[in-house]
Structure 1
Amino acid sequence: MKNNILTGASALALAIGVPASAQNVSDIDQSGVDHGADVTQTGSNNISDVDQTNQFNEAVVLQSGSNAQSTINQSGNGENSDRANRAEVEQRGNGAISQVTQLGTTDTEASRNKADVYQDGASFSSVIQDGRAQQANVDQTGDLNESYVDQNGNSNGVGKAFDDRDIHAGVTQNGTSNFSSIDQNPATYANGNVDQFGDFNTAQIRQEIRGSAGAGRSDALIDQTGNSNVAEINQLSATQPARLSASSSQTGDDNGSFINQSGQDNEATVSQNATGAIGNRSYLTQQGEEGVASVAQTGSDNESVAVQGAPNRVTELQRLAVTQDGTDNFSDVKQFGSQNDAVVSQTGSGNNSLVNQPGFDNAAGGFDGAGDVVSAGIVQDGTNNSSTLTQTANFGSAYVSQIGDELRSYVTQSGRANFADATVTQTGFDNESRIVQDAPAPGGGGPAFTMVAEVTQNGASNDSEISQTNTLGNPAVSANFASVSQTGTNGESLIEQNGHENSASLADAGDLNDSTINQMGNFNTTSVTQGGANNTSFVSQNGDGNSVSVSQNGTGGIVN
């Protein structure tokens, strides 16, 4: 049974000799177990101070009016979710201030303290909890609200306690120009949730993890509806693996999402839905092995920048998927390390995609269980699209598929022992494809064993260029292969091979197409087939074991 103290506005106001409507003051100090304090104040300039020490205490403060101030200090640990210290604050009116501090007594026992704050008006809320398995919930309605939640300890939750079956919203703000900050340190088995509805809101979640291997498993979630909102999530871990999860969801225009994760085996998800002319921005960074991330953006003028891994750090097995549906969207992907894969899908017009993988055994495409690429790395469906993919080390694979008009694709693969494989498929007209595979010969040995480049273009005015360089290493071990297939008229194709064991094949179906193949190295073979009228084929071979076969089906063909 709780020992309750109830205070009202009138009695306390008379005790201090001022009118109740002008200023109400309540000051309660309780020491012991199972105490309760209920404070109700109506009017302006209300002040309430509740201090409770020991276990299983409860403080409830209800204030109605402007410029209210509530302070609750509680110390002690709980036994379970029902037997713990509880603080509840409800304030209605502008200028309200709520400060709740709950301190556990030991690091080994769970505190299980709970704090609930509800404010209606332009208000300020601060919740500080020190201990384990604590829960904080803040609900603010109005403009220019501020919420700060600081939790020091493991298994804490802003939204729900770790051992509690009840699921709460965490920090909820309705209005404009609101600010929410959650700081959890340490944050092992912690969760932080923020929901904001309105414009010009900012939400920040910071979780810092310490502990033994596998001690992470913390979650951070920000959900924003409105325009010009900012979501920031920082999850920092020295624990390996960390297994952190970050999620940012934004609906509206001109929103920004910033996610930064360190540690191993983390997961990040970004969802942005632009409803107007101004797009959203996503900036995602994962520094650690086996990171998994996905970015989904709909609307126009969206921007996604994603970085996985870090230079001068050993990272591997990172997965990234970017999906953009709309016009004038931009995606920039950079993956450091090895055995990474990136998948970019863009639907609409005027989209641009950049993929840079400065590592080895990377692929722009999805892997199956056996490690094989099963999906295209970059897919663009629309007009005026552009794709740039760069792999600057070993074992690279690149896949680009473009469907639409005036598409551009640029693939660069370089590095020693580069098992490069690039495939570009374009359907539309006025397409352009550039593939550069360059593997300089190291001292005492040759570069890559395999370079394969294949381009398929379907439409008019296609332009394809493939450059494969071996530099004739001693011994030369590169087995280059290039194949171009063009369907349409006024197409141009250029294949340049340096050495060794090269093979170039071109097939043109249409009229007024030009084909040029230059081979310099050893064991070269060229096969050109052109179907249509007024096509031109030029073949140059300078080396050993060359063979040329040209077939033109049509009239007015020229062979040099």
Structure 2
Amino acid sequence: MKRLILASASATALFAASPALAASSTSTINQNGTSNSATADQTGSSSDSNSTISQNIADTSGGNNSASVTQSDVGVVYHPANTSTVKQEGTGNAATVLQTQRIGAYYNSSSITQIGQGAGAGGGSVADVAQYGHNDSTVDQSGIRATAIVRQGLNGQPVGGNTSLVSQDDDDSVFVGQNAVAPPTVAGNYGGNSSVVIQGRGGNAGNVEQSGLFAISTLTQSGGASAGIVQHGAFNESGVFQIGDGAAAQVTQTGTRNLAAVAQNGDGNFAGVSQSGTEGTVRVLQIGADQTAGVTQNTTGDSSSLVAQLNGPDNIAGIDQRGDDVLAGIVQLGGDNTAMLTQNAQSSAAGIAQIGASNVASVQQTGAANMAGAGQYGSGNRAGLTQSGTANAAGVVQADVFVVDLAAALNGDFQPLLANARQAYDNQATVVQGGTSNELLALQKGSDNLASLTQTGINGFVSVIQGGTDGFALVSQAGTDNQARILQGGSLNVAAIYQ
């Protein structure tokens, strides 16, 4: 029976390849076991085509494997140099490869390897690859219920230079689409995209869609994570690394030369990144569980955003960054902290650092050449800072002693620098700053302090230090060359300065 099956398979292969034999097409099929089906159809090729299908090479128990390879379109105007290799072991595997070529877009190559371990181990493996021109795809699947679908350059446009690598092990699924839709910004000149997806055990799901010019995407996940990556425009790059059950990441990139990096280690974390504009950089680090981070970036001029959520759980951070040459950073160490940063400025920097639990901070920054920061150490603290104007500096610190190297954090150093710090509790601060070259600092020590500061004009200076409990300070400055300083110790203090 095996001899008869092998003879039939060889005859089928030769018959399928016969229209292209004059164009040096080659097809080889080797099948062992039972219920195997292999079809290699190389039609209309006017140059080299090569297809090799091997099923159940080491597994003599056989299985319900199916492999189908079709290379080149019909017609003498097509010039394919297609190569496809399919190797399947185990049971229930299915692989389908379609490669077509047109003049000016020659080389396609696809290799699919699906290996199951034991009865039923490879029963859910499905790999479906369709390539248009100058594409290269490698799919390696081992385990159960793995699904990989790769689409590269199928819309009849002058595309090329795509490559995709998918490696899966255990109950995973992934979709990779490259140049499936022509990007409006670089119509008629796109391709060169690269995608690498590596998925481990735990039922992961990945979706990568690339269109445009020279996009690079890397996705590595395990433990039941899911990720979606969409890249349009030119020279965008993204990297996602996830470990955890229910961890999710979504990265969308448009524009030119944007970079996004997401790293997650923990269950139930979510990170969303949306980039448009030019030369933007976003980095998200999540360690812990059930944390949420969202960054929207529409900037130019080497702008950067950073979110670092450490230990968790239930931290929430959001950055909306717009403008030119701006920096924004949020660092959270603890749980149940909330930080929101909105930036629409030029050559400015803003940051929020939270250590403790149940702290809330928000920073809104506009204008040019401004610096704003909020630091919280303790629990139950509330800080709101609104900054506009030019060359202003404003800071809100809610702790006895609190030192944070914001510049280091914005450059990837996620460890806050603390020196002899004592926690503060249930403090509130509201700061509104405008004008030019103003400086403002609100330091709240102890607990239950309330400060409200409003500053406009030129060269104003405000400094508020509160200690004890139930202190209240209100400073309002307008005009030019103003200075105000409030220092309170003890409890039940009230101070107000109007200028």
For normalisation by structure 1, the TM-score amounts to 0.46
1:300–1:107 distance in 2 versus 1, CA, 3 Å? farther
Superposed displacement of residue 479, structure 1 = 1.1
- Distance in 2 (alpha carbons) for counterparts of 1:87 and 1:119: 14
Provide Cα deviations, 1:127-164, integer angstroms capped at 9, x if missing partner.
Answer: 9989557574725132699xxx9999836474xxxxxx
Superposed displacement of residue 274, structure 1 = 0.9
- Distance in 2 (alpha carbons) for counterparts of 1:12 and 1:76: 26
Which letter maps to 2:447? T
1:386–1:174 distance in 2 versus 1, CA, 3 Å? same
Q: In terms of Rg, which structure is larger?
A: 1
- Distance in 1 (alpha carbons) for counterparts of 2:132 and 2:437: 59
Q: Which residue of 2 aligns with 1:154?
A: 133
Report if the CA contact (8 A) 1:117-1:137 is conserved. yes
Superposed displacement of residue 406, structure 1 = 9.7
Q: Which residue of 1 aligns with 2:425?
A: 460
* Structure 1 unaligned spans of 5+: 1-6, 14-23, 38-49, 159-169, 309-314, 365-376, 412-416, 436-447, 465-476, 494-499, 516-521, 538-547, 551-560
- Distance in 1 (alpha carbons) for counterparts of 2:498 and 2:9: 99
Report if the CA contact (8 A) 2:46-2:76 is conserved. no
Aligned pairs for 1:290-329 (under 5 A) are: 290-291=257-258, 293=260, 295=262, 297=264, 299=266, 316-318=278-280, 320=282, 322=284, 324=286, 326-327=288-289
Indicate whether 1:400 and 2:375 are aligned.
no
Aligned pairs for 1:45-444 (under 5 A) are: 53-54=21-22, 59=27, 61-64=29-32, 77=45, 87=51, 89-94=53-58, 109=78, 111=80, 115=84, 117-121=86-90, 134=108, 136=110, 138=112, 140-142=114-116, 154=133, 156=135, 158=137, 171=139, 173-175=141-143, 188=160, 190=162, 192=164, 194=166, 196-198=168-170, 215-217=189-191, 218=193, 220=195, 222=197, 224-226=199-201, 242=213, 244=215, 246=217, 248=219, 250-252=221-223, 264-266=234-236, 268=238, 270=240, 272-275=242-245, 289-291=256-258, 293=260, 295=262, 297=264, 299=266, 316-318=278-280, 320=282, 322=284, 324=286, 326-327=288-289, 338=301, 340-342=303-305, 344=307, 346=309, 348-349=312-313, 361-364=325-328, 377-378=329-330, 380=332, 382-383=334-335, 395-400=347-352, 402=354, 404-405=356-357, 419-424=369-374, 426=376, 428-429=378-379
Aligned with 1:53: secondary structure? Answer: helix
Indicate whether 1:482 and 2:440 are aligned.
yes
1:28–1:93 distance in 2 versus 1, CA, 3 Å? closer
Report if the CA contact (8 A) 1:156-1:187 is conserved. no
Q: Which residue of 2 aligns with 1:542?
A: none
Provide Cα deviations, 1:8-42, integer angstroms capped at 9, x if missing partner.
Answer: 726999xxxxxxxxxx9979997xxxx426xxxxx
Equivalences, count = 442
Superposed displacement of residue 426, structure 1 = 3.9
Superposed displacement of residue 173, structure 1 = 0.9
Q: Which residue of 1 aligns with 2:420?
A: none
Superposed displacement of residue 485, structure 1 = 6.2
Superposed displacement of residue 349, structure 1 = 4.7
1:105–1:428 distance in 2 versus 1, CA, 3 Å? same
Provide Cα deviations, 1:206-230, integer angstroms capped at 9, x if missing partner.
Answer: x9xxxx966334463626241799x
Which letter maps to 2:45? N
Instruction: Give the number of the structure whose residues are more often helix, by fraction.
Output: 2
Provide Cα deviations, 1:460-483, integer angstroms capped at 9, x if missing partner.
Answer: 29899xxxxxxxxxxxx9712214
User: What do you get for the CA RMSD once the two structures are aligned?
Assistant: 8.0
* Structure 2 unaligned spans of 5+: 61-66, 123-127, 179-184, 400-423, 430-434, 452-457, 474-479
Which letter maps to 2:288? G
For normalisation by structure 2, the TM-score amounts to 0.50
- Distance in 2 (alpha carbons) for counterparts of 1:529 and 1:108: 85
Aligned pairs for 1:13-52 (under 5 A) are: 35-36=15-16
- Distance in 2 (alpha carbons) for counterparts of 1:112 and 1:57: 10
Aligned with 2:199: secondary structure? Answer: strand
- Distance in 1 (alpha carbons) for counterparts of 2:76 and 2:239: 33
- Distance in 1 (alpha carbons) for counterparts of 2:132 and 2:30: 29
Aligned with 2:425: secondary structure? Answer: coil
Superposed displacement of residue 345, structure 1 = 6.6
- Distance in 2 (alpha carbons) for counterparts of 1:342 and 1:432: 23
Superposed displacement of residue 504, structure 1 = 0.8
Aligned with 2:469: secondary structure? Answer: coil
Report if the CA contact (8 A) 2:223-2:243 is conserved. yes
- Distance in 2 (alpha carbons) for counterparts of 1:187 and 1:175: 34
Superposed displacement of residue 324, structure 1 = 3.2
Report if the CA contact (8 A) 1:322-1:343 is conserved. yes
